[in-house]
Amino acid sequence: MVWLDEVEPGGPPWGGVAALGNFDGVHVGHQALLARAQALAEALGVEALALTFEPHPAAVLRPQSLPGLLTPLEEKVRWLESYGVSRVVVARFDRAFASLEPEGFLEQVLAERLGVRGVVVGDDFTFGHQARGRVPLLRSWSQARGIGAEVIPAVGRQGERVSSSRIRQALLAGAFDEVVAMLGHPYGVVGRVVTGHGRGRTLGYPTANLELDPQQLPPPEGVYLAEAVVLGAEPERPWPALAVYSRRPTFGSGEPAFEVFLLDFRGDLYSQRLRVLLIQRLRGIIRFPGPAELQAQIEEDFQQARRYFGL
């Protein structure tokens, strides 16, 4: 990852093909852009890159309506790279950047700093001050400069376009299967392990309690099959896991908590950062009469997890 303002204007042009977008979630529609950018880059013999923005433009332009994020920057970059772009360029979206006229964005960012040979955008892509830049302007500018420009139509699901907003709605509605289908990959969270209430240990299953990014939308409450990675470990391998996001109604606690148990893991996780990918929602949260009934259900959850992962 490189920040756009660290790229020297007038320096050696990168000359790649850039997929442009905010890319929150890096969902199946974004993946279509990335795949086309890679194909065009291969045809031109150059590299494919993604240009994205941080923070979310709404944080600057409409802070009162800032949506919860699907992918904080670290996770967005990781997913973009996993879908094959050679480099991710991040523009700092501030008032100065937002005030760039559309022509200034094309000339100063795409031409001078990145020296693009091609650009790939979605059919709803806008750019420049007050989002006045639209696809026709991008096409005419690209044609005048001999730059390839491709516009990718929306990817649909069940008669509607897949979008980050639609995925957020599904997440808030608890429609987790729809979230995963539109993302095209598991929903993930990253957090540091902090001290919890210790109830998992008393029930025989000590869990790691994660402090989640407050800007990211949490998953629907439930019990999940998951894979967890201890960030910074050597190697960073995925561990089969069981994760729970819940207000713990059996104990009358009102604050939601995210807990994860790494199957067959040996070691101290306290203060470590974990990436947890939620693969499948096993069940919703149930209020049990007491700890004994909860423990019996937890044991059943772990049996299902072990069967799923072949352990």
Kindly list the structural domains of the chain, giving each domain's residue range(s) and its CATH number in brackets, ordered by start. 2-153 (3.40.50.620), 186-309 (2.40.30.30)
CA dihedral 99, 103, 107, 108 (to 10 degrees): -10
User: How confident is the model at residue 199, as a pLDDT?
Assistant: 53
* Unique residue bearing structure tokens 């539109």: 182
Report the predicted TM-score, pTM, of the whole model to 2 decimal places: 0.91
- Output 159-165 pairs: Cβ under 8 A, ≥24 positions apart: 161/29, 162/27, 162/28, 162/29, 163/27, 163/29, 164/22, 164/24, 164/25, 164/27, 164/67, 164/70, 165/67
User: How confident is the model at residue 61, as a pLDDT?
Assistant: 87
The span from the CA of 242 to the CA of 276, in Å, is 10
In tens digits, the chain (311 residues) has pLDDT values of 999 999 887 666 678 999 999 999 999 999 999 999 999 999 999 999 999 999 998 888 888 877 799 999 999 999 999 999 999 999 999 999 999 999 999 999 999 999 999 999 999 999 999 999 999 999 999 999 999 999 999 999 999 999 999 999 999 999 999 999 999 999 999 999 998 655 545 445 678 999 999 999 999 999 999 999 999 998 899 999 999 998 764 555 667 899 999 999 988 899 999 999 999 999 988 887 677 778 888 899 999 999 999 98
User: How confident is the model at residue 203, as a pLDDT?
Assistant: 46
User: How confident is the model at residue 9, as a pLDDT?
Assistant: 73
Can you read off the two tokens belonging to residue 37?
């950018």
User: How confident is the model at residue 11, as a pLDDT?
Assistant: 61
